[in-house]
Amino acid sequence: MDSESATEPDAGRTHCWSGRGIAFTPLEITDAPLVHRWRSDPVAAHETGVWPGSLYELTERIERHLDDSSRDDFLVLLPDGTPAGLIALHDQQLAEGTAEAYLLLDREHRGRGLGVAALDALTDLAFGELPMHRVEALTHTDNAPALSVLAAAGFAPEGVRRASCLHRGRRYDNAVLSLLRPEWEALDRPRSWEL
């Protein structure tokens, strides 16, 4: 599957979870070209602080992730099946009840509320189906769009990891945000299973 055909709607994908105007389907190895294209976008590379690397390396990483029981990776799908992004709940420590959220949207689908809908669905999964007590997220302190999306999804700022990310020859601070189970319970919004 080439990267262009990967952006076409695929009604045949299994929806394992859904939210407000979006659905999750498990990430597959065949999704690597699509995710590689998203990660290669200069804005996304800057905001995530991750060098895109080769398609081969990303394919190998996705294959390893599929065997990793401490993470769940999903494509975010629009109602017509169009892939709009990648979301993950990784570093899951079930005994501790902690995990980290990761979100990457295709640049064509940013600024439309999909990030908040996807994070809402992910935290509903973490707190409503999994025994999580805390979901953490990290992003550059100057990544205003991501900070806004995280705040809208109920994540609270905790602090800053100073100079913790090197990208394009410059050190960046990372903001640490989290959502705790009692805070999620207090959110005034429908849960994914109520939609």
Mean pLDDT of the chain: 90
User: Which pLDDT belongs to residue 195?
Assistant: 86
Q: How many domains does the chain have?
A: 1
pLDDT tens string 68-90: 999 999 999 999 999 999 999 99
Range of the domain at 170: 5-194
If you average pLDDT over residues 159-174, what whole number do you get? 88
pLDDT digits (tens, 9 = 90+) for 92-118: 999 999 999 999 999 999 989 999 999
| CATH number of residue 173's parent domain | 3.40.630.30
Percent of residues, the chain, with pLDDT higher than 90: 76
User: pLDDT tens for residues 8-27?
Assistant: 666 578 899 999 999 999 99
pLDDT > 80? residue 194? yes
Interval 56-65 mean pLDDT: 93
Q: Does pLDDT of 2 surpass 70?
A: no
The residues, ordered by sequence, that sit 6+ positions from 45 with a Cβ below 8 Å of its Cβ are: 39, 51, 52, 167
Residue 172 is predicted with a pLDDT of 87
pLDDT of residue 85: 96
| Residue 9: predicted pLDDT | 62
Give 103's contacts (C-beta < 8 A, 6+ positions apart): 85, 86, 87, 88, 115, 118, 119, 122, 137, 146, 149
